[in-house]
């Protein structure tokens, strides 16, 4: 390591400028500093600490709760709410960067709202149910989300909205709870749009994206009739929407979360199509006559229409229709082909065989495209799809173990040869 004396001699000799000497000194100072604890670790400790403190305060109150007067009980019930507001106010109006404490304070205040409502209800013996409790919990917490813009608070809010939505299972006002749950999710959409446009790649951002996707799936599937005639088209349109929405995020909004939405759309489409290649689905589907008026008046019909329209809009925005049909991934338009298959299968019982062809086409196309573009993952996915396609067909067709063994050996050799071919191509490209 160069000493300050050496730097002084070089500067006096004219071999080094004073500016460069200061930069060298600063470089070695930064190099010898102790490593800084990551922000995600600090956030985790802050959030967990805030939650533990809140639970501890409630337990202390509960120890002598029955001995307190009603007025004192109300004051103590509102005390966590007041403390949380004070801390959030300090962080919100402070000029210093308290971003690492923002999540902890927001989480504490969010939980304090629910705790205060529960305690006051207990003091005055107010009756209610789980759905109404969470409803009156997250509605006052909505301004907190927009003020603090905390990822943890957003996730807690979405979980609460899901509880309100699914509370309709045990309540007579099913449709009212469903509309309320939808409205609660709609109220947070502008905030999610603002949050995702920040293009952050933090762990909390990814967790929020996962919570949003899972919440959307549960909200949409809440009232689906699993015996519905439109069940296959509903799910394939839904997964197509996620696939194209993820592609749109990649081009415009969030690079860090696009793979999440596209992955769910891709895997969901493949799994559902794979299920349609077996006899058990087609054995019962379409056997009962469906009246047009009943079909048009069903929840599944309109939700399917909406997601098909959104998927087509996504294809237009992603300029898929301007690309050659053979070059576009079959996953992109599989929801359109599935509609054609279902219409044909209603009159001619060949739906299983048409789905066979569609899944096989997806696998072969991915193998060919991956080979041409030297994308190993795409080709490997194609081989995996092909493997499960063959395995599924062997289940349907009765063959001897010898024939099945030979088929699997041929498929395994194909994997090995493909790997050798990729390595050779990569080696040639590197040399070139």
**Per-residue CA distances from 269 to 89, 169, 232, 309, 319 (Å):** 46, 28, 10, 17, 21
Q: What is the pTM (predicted TM-score) of this model?
A: 0.65
Sequence-distant (≥ 6) Cβ neighbours of residue 414 within 8 angstroms: 383
Q: Report which listed range, 159-168, 234-243, 290-299, is most confident.
A: 234-243
- pLDDT at residue 365, rounded to an integer: 85
Residue 28 predicted with pLDDT over 70: no
364-394, pLDDT tens digit by residue?
888 887 766 666 677 778 878 887 887 777 7
Contact 181, 165 (CB under 8 A): yes
Per DSSP, the three-state class of 190 is helix
* CA angle in degrees (0–180, nearest 5) for 168-172-174: 40
When pLDDT is cut at 50, 70 and 90, the band that residue 36 belongs to is very low
Task: Note the Cα 11 to chain centre separation in Å.
Answer: 57
Which pLDDT belongs to residue 255? 43
Per-residue pLDDT reduced to its tens digit, 161-174: 888 877 755 555 55
Q: Report whether 244 contacts 319 (CB < 8 A).
A: no
Helix, strand or coil for residue 245? helix
Where residue 212 falls among pLDDT bands split at 50, 70, 90?
confident
Confidence check: pLDDT of 23 > 60: yes
């Amino acid at each position: 390591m160069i000493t300050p004396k050496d730097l002084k001699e070089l500067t006096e000799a004219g071999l080094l400028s004073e500016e460069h000497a200061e930069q060298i000194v600063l470089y070695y100072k930064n190099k010898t500093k102790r490593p800084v604890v990551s922000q995600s670790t600090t956030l985790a400790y802050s959030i967990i600490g805030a939650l533990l403190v809140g639970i501890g305060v409630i337990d202390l109150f509960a120890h002598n709760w029955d001995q307190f007067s009603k007025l004192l009980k109300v004051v103590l019930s509102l005390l966590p709410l007041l403390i949380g507001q004070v801390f959030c106010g300090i962080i919100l109006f402070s000029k210093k960067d308290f971003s690492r404490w923002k999540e902890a304070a927001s989480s504490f205040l969010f939980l304090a709202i629910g705790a205060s409502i529960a305690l006051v209800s207990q003091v005055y013996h107010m009756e209610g149910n789980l759905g109404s409790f969470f409803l009156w919990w997250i509605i006052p917490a909505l301004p907190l989300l927009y003020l603090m813009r905390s990822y943890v608070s957003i996730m807690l809010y979405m979980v609460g909205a899901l509880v309100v939505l699914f509370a309709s299972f045990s309540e007579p006002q099913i449709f009212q709870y469903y509309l309320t749950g939808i409205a609660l999710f709609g109220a947070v959409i502008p905030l999610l749009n603002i949050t995702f446009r920040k293009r952050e790649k933090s762990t909390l951002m990814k967790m929020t994206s996962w919570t949003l996707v899972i919440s959307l799936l549960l909200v949409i599937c809440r009232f689906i009739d699993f015996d519905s005639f439109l069940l296959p088209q509903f799910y394939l349109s839904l997964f197509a929407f996620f696939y194209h929405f993820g592609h749109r995020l990649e081009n415009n909004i969030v690079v860090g979360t696009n793979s999440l939405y596209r992955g769910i759309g891709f895997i969901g489409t493949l799994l559902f199509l794979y299920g349609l290649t077996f006899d058990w689905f087609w054995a019962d589907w379409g056997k009962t006559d469906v009246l047009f008026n009943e079909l048009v008046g069903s929840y599944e019909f309109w939700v399917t229409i909406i997601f098909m329209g959104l998927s087509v809009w996504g294809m237009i925005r992603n300029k898929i229709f301007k690309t050659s049909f053979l070059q576009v991934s079959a996953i992109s338009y599989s929801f359109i082909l599935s509609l054609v298959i279902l219409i044909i299968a209603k009159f001619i019982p060949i739906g299983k065989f048409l789905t066979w062809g569609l899944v096989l086409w997806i696998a072969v196309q991915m193998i060919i495209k991956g080979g041409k573009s030297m994308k190993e993952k795409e080709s490997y996915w194609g081989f995996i799809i092909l493997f499960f396609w063959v395995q599924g067909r062997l289940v349907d067709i009765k063959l001897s173990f010898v024939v099945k063994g030979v088929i699997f050996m041929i498929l395994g050799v194909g994997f090995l040869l493909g790997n050798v071919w990729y390595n050779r191509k990569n080696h040639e490209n590197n040399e070139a």
